[in-house]
């Protein structure tokens, strides 16, 4: 049995990924998995409740490692929201590419409906928190209910975009996944161009001015 202080979330994740890549299925039981990796079954539950929990944690770890890499860049903190998100995507998909065999194993059979995948639950939570803190410029709607709808729309559309990009990457057969890089750049730039609120702000401000001054066009 491995000493308790040698067992960690990281070793369990590593052993689990190695097993599923070699066998193309989950271990038959936590007991057999623990025995094969020389630790007690009870120690497994100190870190995870099930294999499904490990699968959730793996995608969350990909996210957090991406954030750690970005945090080391002095330039990243000075980027605007658009360039921060571009940097996140390029770094995150480098992480996925480094672990492509596992990602294909985990996602390939569910490409038609990633939204139902429990293994992406923690990633979704992490990513939405990231989007909330990104500083995307929003309309000042002056109404809490409308602002909540606006926030929810940004969150869900951002998550949907990440899922679409993951599916594109899974299907990408270009060298070094060059088409995925182009997809990321063009789609994120298009999204931010569509979300550009400056023209809309000008229209709203003009409308407020007209109402305030009660301009008569007749």
Q: Is 87 helix (H, G, I), strand (E, B) or coil?
A: helix
The number of helix segments (H) and strand segments (E) in the chain equals 10, 0
The answer to whether 139 and 203 have CB atoms below 8 angstroms apart is: no
Higher pLDDT, 2 or 169: 169
Structure confidence at residue 144 (pLDDT) = 72
Q: What is the pLDDT of residues 111-161, one digit of tens each?
A: 667 767 889 999 999 999 999 999 888 777 677 787 788 889 999 999 999
Q: From the centroid of its chain, how far is CA 179?
A: 19
d(CA 131, CA 206): 30
Q: Which two tokens stand for residue 122?
A: 């923690």
Structure confidence at residue 209 (pLDDT) = 54
Structure confidence at residue 149 (pLDDT) = 87
N residues, the chain? 218
Domain boundaries, the chain: 4-44, 56-210
pLDDT exceeds 60 at position 56 = yes
Q: What is the pLDDT of residues 185-208, one digit of tens each?
A: 999 998 888 776 555 555 556 566
The answer to whether 117 and 58 have CB atoms below 8 angstroms apart is: no
Structure confidence at residue 103 (pLDDT) = 97
d(CA 93, CA 61): 13
pLDDT exceeds 50 at position 14 = yes
Q: What is the pLDDT of residues 1-13, one digit of tens each?
A: 444 458 999 999 9
The single-letter DSSP state of residue 45 is: T
């Amino acid at each position: 049995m491995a000493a308790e202080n040698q067992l960690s979330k990281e070793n369990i994740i590593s052993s689990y990924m190695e097993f599923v890549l070699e066998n193309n299925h989950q271990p038959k039981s936590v007991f057999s998995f623990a025995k094969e990796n020389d630790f007690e079954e009870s120690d497994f539950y100190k870190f995870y409740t099930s294999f499904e929990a490990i699968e959730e944690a793996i995608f969350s770890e990909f996210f957090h490692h991406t954030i750690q890499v970005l945090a080391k860049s002095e330039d990243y903190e000075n980027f605007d929201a658009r360039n921060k998100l571009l940097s996140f995507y390029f770094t995150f998909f480098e992480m996925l590419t480094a672990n492509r065999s596992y990602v294909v194993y985990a996602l390939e059979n569910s490409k038609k409906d990633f939204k139902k995948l429990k293994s992406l639950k923690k990633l979704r939570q992490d990513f939405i928190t990231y989007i909330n803190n990104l500083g995307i410029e929003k309309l000042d709607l002056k109404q809490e209910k409308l602002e909540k709808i606006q926030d929810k729309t940004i969150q869900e559309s951002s998550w949907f975009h990440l899922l679409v990009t993951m599916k594109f990457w899974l299907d990408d057969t270009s060298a070094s996944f060059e088409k995925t890089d182009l997809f990321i750049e063009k789609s994120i730039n298009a999204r931010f161009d569509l979300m550009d609120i400056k023209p809309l702000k000008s229209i709203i401000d003009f409308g407020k001015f007209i109402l305030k001054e009660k301009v008569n066009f007749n």
